[in-house]
Structure 1
């Protein structure tokens, strides 16, 4: 370690600094001098941008117990040790522009984490434990190698901003639609073929970016006033779980659909409804559907499980797109629960 860097660390420890800037220092290893002796326990913000770090020390949480922000943007970090979970007060973690291929499950132990930035890495999946981050507000996982997002993300109840641009996503878990505070969703430049039918149903979601998904045609009508940046012709693509696409010639929904709707209503209105979800009461796939329906009718909000009645609105001009890049025409699909709703639904009403 050069003498100037040693002095910076020494002064920070002696004067009990809360912030320490070690950006652009050509560090190939984490400075162990920072973790020796007393003084480091007062540190709350550590900035180490644009260095050559490849990993972090195992005793980081032990020696920096009050750390709330760790900024490691633009290093060569390939591995995050399991001990990352000991940084119990950490609120902001930036690992953007590294070479991470795996995110350890211990990330879920950071119960105070509010901002997690992992853009420009080599991640192929996220651990399900990320759903344990109940205080998480910002998640940026853009420019990675992700093919799917974990369903457990819907447990991040505080999540407001989710960016997953430039990955290899082919679909989004419908559970994302249940995030009560999600305000902005950006999934540009992926391989999305369809979006969850309920996307945009919650009023908190105001901005959705889906441009450069070249197989994505026909957006859920909930997004009419929310989509920024997308255009395309109209085709109807529905999730694989949908067994039937209803038509105007149908008189009533299939029996299985009617039974599921009845059970769902009973489950949500009766005190005995919880018994329906015991391990031996229903098949696992049906229990999952009761918890997370495939969608809700865009007209009356009736939950849907096996069948939808789509209504197409081809190349409709959207007000939100005008704010982004001039007026843009997009195609929308309303997913309804019955012939009656299908006939009366109007995109502009």
Structure 2
């Protein structure tokens, strides 16, 4: 059964009515159910388009967190052939919050890395809700270095509220692991295409997203801190999250204007969770479009342009 967000209630009511009518049978001379269903379907589609045409940053955050939204494992399953997962950081443990391995993307051998939130209670616990620990970022770094040695382009798919904030993660060097992850992105001698598919939270996201090309789903969000965290710091009230989301400019549209991402990947009307297959097909085309010209560049050019790109962010004229 489809899960509806709070602002989708008008659509939920219409679609519930449609389902109710579809289960009914009619006698001769009674209401033509097919015609009524068609009318309500048109009305529901129009309502959905109207709602999604003017989503607020906070509403986009809710869409980005939708439980049915495509996750990294789903993206890899749909876009990567012959995927061979690789595990462990060769120092402490394997962190299931970050998945990665080798495979083929539309005929091109690649290294794939993603943050995985999970799709149900069991898998969310297994993947720690996509919040990686130091061993996760060290695993990602290991895979990036491996990709460099074997000349494999790197594709990353980011969906995390942030790095795991627990004491044990700090004790094992969380900040250093994230910094080294960013360093690995910048030093990779191969093309790196990063995509924010849901939430891109803080350093936990940029450790995998400092790429030559940074793509972002239309209703994804990317920020230095969650809206709730920002609200708790500035107003000491997490209920101000909507205000914080507006101020932080966390949407793909704002970030594209600011030059912090390169392309916005369109989603089906109603979000990627309404039609994951179509959403993933469009994502595959966008990744291929971003990757193809990068394959022609030398390792030196890839690294230099990647560093220049990120060092230029935030600069203002004096």
TM over 0.5: no
Q: Which gives a bigger RCO, structure 1 or 2 (Cα 8 Å, sep 6+)?
A: 2
Structure 1 or 2: larger helix share?
A: 2
Q: State the structure with more CA Rg.
A: 1
Normalising by structure 1, we get a TM-score of 0.26
